Every structure is written in structure tokens, then in C-alpha cells.
Amino acid sequence: MNRQTEEMFALSTITESVDVTVPVTTAYNQWTQFESFPHFMEGVERIDQPDDRHTHWVTKIGGVTREFDATITEQIPDERVAWKSDSGPDHAGVITFHRLDERTTRVTAQMDIDPEGFAENVADKLGLIDSRVKADMKRFKGFIEERGGKETGAWRGEVERPGQLPT
């Protein structure tokens, strides 16, 4: 592979934040309800969560249906949810929750994505993946705020990073 081709197929990092007008606990609780993601994430058809650490995703983007598994690598209530893919497109990320005041929370998504295939790489280089994440975060804001700041559920358990001593 030449240098230009290697650069085209390099890992991308995407960071996007949105301020939501709900308390930090409400924003976090809603984010732990993975089955609600199709309501605000474009292209997500379904997410199943067979246990506390694992999710199975079904996506449909550009008419192409893909399925993949991901592992939740860290989950700390009101602070963060981190994951990595186990199969399918190579990606990992973390969502963090920052209390700005009693009623406002900054939700930040940081993802490392290794687009799979030529079409995904072109979409990445054109900024389409970045745009999708930005739009998904705005839709999350609308989803939780339009519900009157009421989450659809909550999971308050912790998932500790591998190798981390229990607290």
C-alpha cells in the first residue's frame, strides 16, 4: 500500500458534544437504555443487550444491513459509558456526562472508527460520519428534552475496566 492509500484507510477520531436541559442523572439514565437508540440514531435498526456488558447492533445504512457485537468496557453512573466493537466495523468510544448546573448536562461522544470498505472510507473522508454523529447527538437532545426530561428507564450498575481494582 502506498502512503496515500494508507492515509485514506486510517483510523478516524470523532468528538461531539451537546448540552441537554436535563440533570446529569437523567441524561446518563437515558443513555443506558440502548434499546431506545433507534429513536435518535440514524441507521440503527435495533440493539439487543443480552447481559450487562454486551450489546448486539443491527444497522442499515445506504440500504446495507450490518450486524455487530460490542462490549461495554467501563460504565460509571453519571460519568461515563465506554465500549469497543467485538465484530464488524472496528470502533471504540466513550460517552461522558458533565454536570453544568442542576438542570443542564454536557454529553460528549468520543469515538475512534476504522471505516470498513471503500464506501465507508470515502464517507469518512467527506465528513459524512462526523455529520451523522453530530446529528445523532442533536436528536438525543431532542429525544430526552421532548419527553419532559423523563428517561425511559435506567441502569445504575457499574462495569469496571479490565484490570481495575474494585472500589
Q: Say what the pLDDT of residue 7 is.
A: 46
Closest CA to 42 of 106, 155, 135: 135
One-character DSSP codes across 90-108 = EEEEEEEEEEEETTEEEEE
| Confidence (pLDDT) at 3 | 46
Model's pTM, two decimal places?
0.83
Sign of torsion over alpha carbons 159, 16, 136, 101: positive
pLDDT string in tens for the chain (167-residue length):
444 444 444 668 889 999 999 999 999 999 999 999 999 999 899 999 999 999 999 988 777 788 999 999 999 999 999 999 998 778 899 999 999 999 999 999 999 887 665 556 555 555 557 788 899 999 999 999 998 878 888 888 888 876 655 55
Domain 11-146 sits in CATH 3.30.530.20:
yes
3-state secondary structure 19-87: EECCCHHHHHHHHCCHHHHHHCCCCEEEEECCCCCEEEEEEEECCEEEEEEEEEEEEECCCEEEEEECC
How many other β-carbons are positioned within 10 Å of the β-carbon of residue 110? 16
Q: How far apart are CA 160 and CA 53, in angstroms?
A: 10
pLDDT recorded at residue 166? 52
